[in-house]
Amino acid sequence: MPDAPPRPAPGAVRAIHLGVAVATRDRAGLVVEITRFLGGYSDPGTGHIITYPEATVHSTDIQLEGRTVGGRLRRSAESLVVAFFDVTALPYGVVASSRAPLRDLLQEPCGSPRLP
């Protein structure tokens, strides 16, 4: 059996949860509660090298599961359209770096145990 992947320190986990909650509220209008860590992706071959006019960066995406506990879905200045989609019927044009995590989530369960 392979070794378990390293886990972030508890303080880092709390910081990530809070950051995601604030960003989700500010950008989508939803109040969320994080229920578990699903995984992280940074493979350059899966769209994680992003070229901007001023720089090229290597990004890292962290996938979390959460539940909506309040708010109302809304568009922000950073969005053209916001909507809920069935995970098996996503619209054309999903951001390249999101494709591998979505594919993996559909193929097999992953992530840490759910928080109560």
How confident is the model at residue 69, as a pLDDT?
95
How confident is the model at residue 40, as a pLDDT?
79
How confident is the model at residue 1, as a pLDDT?
46
Per-residue pLDDT tens over the stretch 87-104:
778 777 777 777 777 777
How confident is the model at residue 22, as a pLDDT?
92
Cβ proximity of 34 and 17 under 8 Å: yes
Per-residue pLDDT tens over the stretch 16-73:
888 889 999 999 999 999 888 887 777 777 776 778 889 888 877 788 888 999 999 9
Domain ranges, ordered by start, for the chain: 10-107
Nearest CA to 39 among 7, 83, 74?
7
